[in-house]
Amino acid sequence: MVGKIDKGWKELKAEIVNTDKCCLCGACVNFCDNLVMTPSGPAERGTLCSERTTCRDGQGTCYNSCPYTGSDIIPISLLDRWVHDLPSRDENNEFNHDVLILAARYAGQQPATGFHGGGAEAGLLIAALRAGMIDGVITSHVTSDAPVIVDDEAGILKAARGTPFTNAPLSCIARAIADGYEALALIGSGCEIQALRKMQNHPAVDLEVHDLVSLAIGSFCFFKPKPSKFTTFLGEKGVDLATIDWIGHDKTPFKYDIRAGGTTTIVSLNELYDACAKGSCLSCADGTAGLADISVGVIDAMPGWSVLIVRTARGKQVLKAATQEGLVETRDLNAVLKENVLDVTRNKFFFAPISAIRDEGMDLKTFTFQAPAIAKRYKPGQFVVLWLPDVDFFPMGIAHVLNDDIEITVQRIGEGTSTLFRKHVGDTVGIRGPYGNGWDLSDDDYLVVGGGVGIAGISNALDDLVGRKKRVTAILAGRTSDHVFCEDLYDGKIMQVCIMTDDGSAGAKGLATDPIEQIVKKHGIKHVITCGPEAMMKKVVDIANKLGVPVQASIERKMKCCAGLCGTCCVGENNDVTVCKMGPVFDQDKLARIAGFGSYKKS
């Protein structure tokens, strides 16, 4: 039975706030006079909370309200069943519930200018207000100190023309109850809608919230700037947060236009992500607000329109009212865009059991997962995403496919991989995929160059080439013998396995690039593929170009949506090449147009 957790602010601060896992949804400050929301997150007004472990007779409302606490007791899958009234998960339904996906835009009498995308949320909310389904809307923006409740059409239109980044919308729930509202709509990102659903359904913190918020509008969100970081970031660009009139996409893909004080500053999404993303964004896998009644998103390839994902009977009721009132115009998405949206909308994360763990050397382990669906669809060079809920979310290449199992080699670097290293056989890890384009392996004579953990990235290509009896030579390199692995798998099966280590502890002493020219000339190599540290790959590409041999490299960037929609992994001359969709494998011509190729380091 689901019940309260006897923890409070002391534990919330230690577990969530101080570890940068707070999403700043505002849920924790609602029913506590001693907590206040700040640009950096929740904070105490005084000392009462620090003096007491819990509150309300042992029930820490702040702790129980947080979307990231007690996830073992109330996981997202349980919230999903509650919200969508599902008796249990239907494995034959890729969404786990019915959805309707459309393109939509505002069609009311007010001019459709200044919206994000098509402004469809404005038409939906006005229709719901006119029909009496809601009596107000909780709106919030990263440029505002606190959320506001608007209860007229003019207020809704103004809110829809603000910024795409919501901020602590749940912090005004208690105020809304006190002010007499009975049926509000709330606009929020995935984490904020998750917090709402937890508050609505948790027996310890319900407090009228279930009936108060009758419509949840989710916004597509692959990351959101933390207000304190955003202020600093804008200040460095000469922009005052208080003077911002509008933030949104205009005509520049994967970039935001920030209009303030009569000037426009353009920033790329991945630049904003690196500088300002909340810590909680790094482990969030809900880019389309899967617990909302209706989700609304903006896609660069569809200017002037929004994407609607309608999930519940309430959502369908609101959409019907909006179209009947002439407030929203809809049309079908084209096949390519619909497939991209489906890629991030499907419930494709499943928890795969670990069937084996193999130590490969210093800070390297290979994990074997039971993942038959992925094993069946996988092509060499593609990647999957591993998810450790509330910890991390990271793309990984597949080293080997063994019937229904896949092997993934991981290097321990940060918190996420360290957590993975503590897993045991039988434990489960969230996984989805495969994604990306994969290697072109249509030639006959290959040199395959792998460095460090990148050896795993070329192992799948070696498996394929060996299986098709192609002529292959491999260079496997690492700092020491502890950083070279898999060599025994190919010894005797390919023309040559050349081992290189920086210190000479295995094979020859030197760099991965040292023997390339000699091998290419000796074996008549027609194609080079490489995976490893980017500085190494840059040298491999330069040598291949010098020798006139085609070359491919698998590059790495931070990724979120894995469908080419969010822009966090973009590279290229115009910062519009998505590594997750157009890559991760690129040939020499495309690599030449990636600014800074050779200098990227995983962090």
pLDDT tens for 456-470 read 999 999 999 999 999
Do both 190 and 299 map to the same domain?
Answer: yes
Dihedral sign computed on CA atoms, order 386, 401, 355, 603: negative
Which residues, at least 6 apart from 163, have a Cβ–Cβ distance to it below 8 Å? 141, 142, 143, 244, 246, 247, 248
Do both 194 and 45 map to the same domain?
Answer: no
Do both 370 and 286 map to the same domain?
Answer: no
Dihedral sign computed on CA atoms, order 328, 221, 190, 165: negative
The pTM of the full predicted model, rounded to 2 decimals, is 0.83
Do both 158 and 291 map to the same domain?
Answer: yes
Q: Which CATH number do you get for residue 451?
A: 3.40.50.80
CA distances from residue 136 to 129, 151, 193, 329 in whole angstroms, order as listed = 7, 4, 17, 23
* CB contact at 8 A, 43 and 35: yes
Q: Give the mean model confidence (pLDDT) for residues 173-193.
A: 91
312 found inside a domain: yes
* CB contact at 8 A, 474 and 497: yes
Confidence band for 518, pLDDT divided at 50, 70 and 90: very high
Do both 41 and 152 map to the same domain?
Answer: no
What values do phi and psi take at 199, rounded to 5? -65, -40
Most confident region among 44-48, 307-311, 365-369 by mean pLDDT: 365-369
548 found inside a domain: yes
Choose the final residue of a domain: 409, 435, 461.
435
Domain that holds residue 515: 445-591
Do both 471 and 409 map to the same domain?
Answer: no
14 found inside a domain: yes
Does the pLDDT of residue 97 top 70, yes or no? no
236-261 burial, b at 16+ Cβ within 10 Å, e below that, comes to eeebebeebebbbbeeebbbbebbbe
Domain count, the chain: 5
CA–CA separation, 386 and 394 (whole Å): 5
Asked, as a colleague might, if the bond just before 169 is cis with ω within 30 of 0, I would say no
* CB contact at 8 A, 334 and 371: no
Confidence band for 77, pLDDT divided at 50, 70 and 90: confident
Does the pLDDT of residue 338 top 90, yes or no? no
Q: Which pLDDT belongs to residue 576?
A: 83
CA–CA separation, 24 and 35 (whole Å): 13
CA–CA separation, 222 and 410 (whole Å): 24
Determine the 3-state secondary structure of 367 from DSSP.
Answer: strand
569 found inside a domain: yes
377 found inside a domain: yes
Choose the final residue of a domain: 377, 404, 435.
435
3 found inside a domain: no
Does the pLDDT of residue 347 top 50, yes or no? no
Tokens representing residue 354 in the block: 């670990």
Q: Give the mean model confidence (pLDDT) for residues 87-94.
A: 42
Choose the final residue of a domain: 300, 317, 345.
345
**Mean pLDDT estimate for the chain:** 86
* CB contact at 8 A, 456 and 366: yes
Q: Which pLDDT belongs to residue 216?
A: 95
Helices (H), strands (E): how many in the chain? 21, 29
Q: Which pLDDT belongs to residue 240?
A: 86
Do both 200 and 90 map to the same domain?
Answer: yes
Q: Which CATH number do you get for residue 112?
A: 3.40.640
Q: Which pLDDT belongs to residue 92?
A: 41
Q: Which pLDDT belongs to residue 389?
A: 79
Percent of the chain surpassing pLDDT 90? 47
194 found inside a domain: yes
* CB contact at 8 A, 582 and 565: no
CA–CA separation, 423 and 356 (whole Å): 11
19 found inside a domain: yes
Which residues, at least 6 apart from 57, have a Cβ–Cβ distance to it below 8 Å? none
Do both 551 and 582 map to the same domain?
Answer: yes
CA–CA separation, 508 and 475 (whole Å): 11
> Bridge partners of 551?
528
CA–CA separation, 453 and 394 (whole Å): 15
The DSSP 8-state label assigned to residue 225 in this structure reads B
Within a 13 Å sphere around the CA of 133, how many CA atoms are in the beta-carbon half? 21
Q: Which CATH number do you get for residue 377?
A: 2.40.30.10
Do both 191 and 312 map to the same domain?
Answer: yes
CA–CA separation, 142 and 165 (whole Å): 6
Most confident region among 99-108, 295-304, 462-471 by mean pLDDT: 462-471
Angle, in degrees to the nearest 10, between helices 76-84 and 190-201:
70
Per residue in 239-262, pLDDT (tens digit) is 888 888 888 776 667 888 888 888
Do both 567 and 477 map to the same domain?
Answer: yes
Query: Which of 333, 354, 351 has its CA nearest to residue 285?
Result: 351
CA distances from residue 380 to 69, 397, 400, 452, 531 in whole angstroms, order as listed = 38, 9, 9, 18, 12
Do both 250 and 323 map to the same domain?
Answer: no
Angle, in degrees to the nearest 10, between helices 534-547 and 516-523:
40
Tokens representing residue 465 in the block: 């080439």
Q: Give the mean model confidence (pLDDT) for residues 163-175.
A: 84
Do both 304 and 392 map to the same domain?
Answer: no
